Chains A and B, each alone.
Chain A
Amino acid sequence: SQTIHQWPATLVQPVGSPLSLECTVEGTSNPNLYWYRQAAGRGLQLLFYSVGIGQISSEVPQNLSASRPQDRQFILSSKKLLLSDSGFYLCAWGKTGGTDTQYFGPGTRLTVL
């Protein structure tokens, strides 16, 4: 069966510090991968998605970036965090060429102070 992991689970960072969030998927190959952000009391905002290694599409211009160094690894980064980057970050995967269902990880709670 497939599983998706995210870490860390929670993170408190000062403004201006760097960020690296990691997501890994097990039990499948060549998945589509997604990063979402959920601000407090708000809906989901798609940030990035990837259909293959090194292929990243950005949905919203911002100070975040994403990378996919391996088939089942997706990383969200920032060089300098802003207060507005606080939120709940969710990674998701979907099957390439299969169903269009997305399966979500447990999320990372980021607080920027």
Chain B
Amino acid sequence: GNSVTQMEGPVTLSEEAFLTINCTYTATGYPSLFWYVQYPGEGLQLLLKATKADDKGSNKGFEATYRKETTSFHLEKGSVQVSDSAVYFCALSALPSNDYKLSFGAGTTVTVRA
């Protein structure tokens, strides 16, 4: 079946440090890949997505590249801010399907210190 594995947290960084959160997946077919972010006490927000191999999703300084050969979708940001403190979820879509269920990773908690 489809599954997503994220690096375990928590991750603690200083401001302006480089952030990488590893995500690998197992899927049949050609899934779409997502990163969602959850700020404290809030719902999940879509951060970025990629729908085919070699696509790069980017938003708010975050980037992730869909690597089919390594089945990975690692999230990176070159210089983090305190406001980036959140829980980050990697996810994939179980296509082909008519219900578009997502498979989520366990989430990685990131804390950025001033």
Give the interface of A toward B (CB within 8 A): 6, 32, 34, 42-44, 46, 49, 51, 57, 90, 92, 94, 99-107, 109
Give the interface of B toward A (CB within 8 A): 32, 34, 36, 41-46, 49, 89, 93, 95, 98-102, 104-107
Top-7 shortest CB links A-B: A100-B93, A104-B43, A43-B106, A104-B44, A100-B100, A107-B43, A44-B104
Contacts of B42 in A (CB 8 A): 106-107
Residue of A nearest to B31 (CB): A100
Contacts of A103 in B (CB 8 A): 46
Minimum Cβ distance to chain B for residue A49 (Å): 6
Across the A-B interface, how many residue pairs have beta carbons closer than 8 Å? Answer: 50
Task: Assess whether A32 is in contact with B99, with CB atoms less than 8 Å apart.
Answer: yes
Whole-angstrom distance between the alpha carbons of A109 and B36 in the complex?
19
Whole-angstrom distance between the alpha carbons of A40 and B43 in the complex?
14
Task: Assess whether B101 is in contact with A49, with CB atoms less than 8 Å apart.
Answer: yes
Residue of B nearest to A44 (CB): B104
